[in-house]
Amino acid sequence: MNAPTKTDLNKLMIAHHLLAGFSFFMVALLLLFAATDFGGHYFQPRLLAITHLTALGWFCALIFSLCYKLLPQFYPGFKVNTKLAWISFGLFVIGLAHLIYSFWVFEPGWPMQCAAALLLISISCLVWQIFKAGKQTVKPDVFQDFLSTSAIWLLLTVILGFLMVFNFRFAFLPMDHVVFLKLHAHAGFGGWFLLLLIAISSKSLPEYLQLKPDKTHLLHSSFYLINLALLAFFINTYLFGLNNITYLIIGLAVFGVFCWLFYLLPFVMLSVKRKVQTDGTSFLSALLLFFIALIVVPLIVYYQFRESNTAINLSVFYGFLLLLGCLGSLMQSRFFGLHFSSEKLSGPRLNELAKLRILCYLISTAVFSIGILLKNTALIHLALFAFVTSAILYLLCIFANLPAKLSHFVKQHRIQK
């Protein structure tokens, strides 16, 4: 089998970025139709559709693209199987489309079940490539530990989702569906997204600054604290639900995140000193929203003890902060953008467009948050106009980069010939 060329990987990345861009735009449109749903319970068909389109269609598409790009860097000598990656992408798109439609109309029959099966197979293909790369490593480092463990949490997230889809029809799970929904969501965010973000940022930022990583003991501490918190959350929530132990679990996770941030701090300060473009605004905004979300969790536990409806409203707010707030801000950054590469493809106008896009997104996040807390539909609609504007600008940035990117591919292809 011929080894994949850089052009093959770049084509694969473009396909994922186009999917992410269209998914972001569709999320913005669907939110316009579901604005009134934010005043009720989070377990609603249209909110489930939007949540999965955001997490899978937008976030995962970008992150899968980044995984294919960085796997050879994490595991030197490993060659990505691009044929398997394209099969995975095709199954992913088909499964995603059917899943979102099935959630929106809430028809938990065979189309939703087939969609869940396709997504499970698709994501298993990516996880298999990560595990295969890991097997080639004699002594894995902490960065590889984070990456491989995040893949395990991703697979667990998808398996839980797969079981929940079939539980809609056959009701075989031993606990209430909402309990498994909490486990499914936190395995995805804390296990998959957070651990992967730590792996990528901790390895890529020092390399980008041409420095050798040091103080990796902080990363080891972060690895064990976050995974311990996730396992404790799973066991405690499954057996006892949210209780006082949840506060201790949050503390473990926070300490784990701080260990990672203390590791990154010297590199971030150096990048500021060197005036390196790392999109600090998006990263700091995401970090701020993440810590606000952590502060909200004890309030949810407190109001749930009192059996107050405020717990439901805060749960919706918490989900929004993590998904569209924290992760959404990260996905706006240069690091996850189409023009993140060694080639300088973006011009001054495109950079200005990107800044405007990020500004619109941050404004929509702030106004949306206030609208959810106050249950004010007018504020939510106002935020959505800024959100739609950001989505349109996001697509424009992708398409503005395509001609230069495709031209670069043609040159590469001619050189390879």
Its domain, for residue 390, covers 277-337+346-398
Mean pLDDT score of the chain: 83
- 66: amino acid identity, one letter: L
Domain for residue 305, yes or no? yes
Helix (H) or strand (E) holding 3: none
Domain for residue 52, yes or no? no
CA distance 312 to 304: 8
Domain for residue 95, yes or no? no
pLDDT at position 6 is: 64
Cβ-count burial of 129 within 10 angstroms (0-12 exposed, 13-18 middle, 19+ buried)?
A: buried
CA distance 19 to 101: 16
Number of H helices, E strands in the chain: 15, 0
Instruction: Please tell me the total count of domains within the chain.
Output: 1
DSSP single-letter state for residue 4 = P
Domain for residue 271, yes or no? no
Domain for residue 369, yes or no? yes
Q: Please state the pTM of the whole predicted model.
A: 0.87
Q: Per residue in 392-403, pLDDT tens?
A: 988 887 777 665
Q: How many CB atoms lie within 10 A of CB 126?
A: 24
Domain for residue 150, yes or no? no
CA distance 413 to 118: 33
Domain for residue 38, yes or no? no
CA distance 277 to 274: 9
CA distance 361 to 384: 10
Q: What is the torsional sign of CA 176, 51, 243, 152?
A: positive
Q: Per residue in 254-295, pLDDT tens?
A: 899 999 989 888 877 776 666 555 555 667 778 888 888 888
pLDDT at position 156 is: 96
Q: Per residue in 137-190, pLDDT tens?
A: 777 789 999 999 999 999 999 999 999 999 988 888 888 888 898 899 899 988
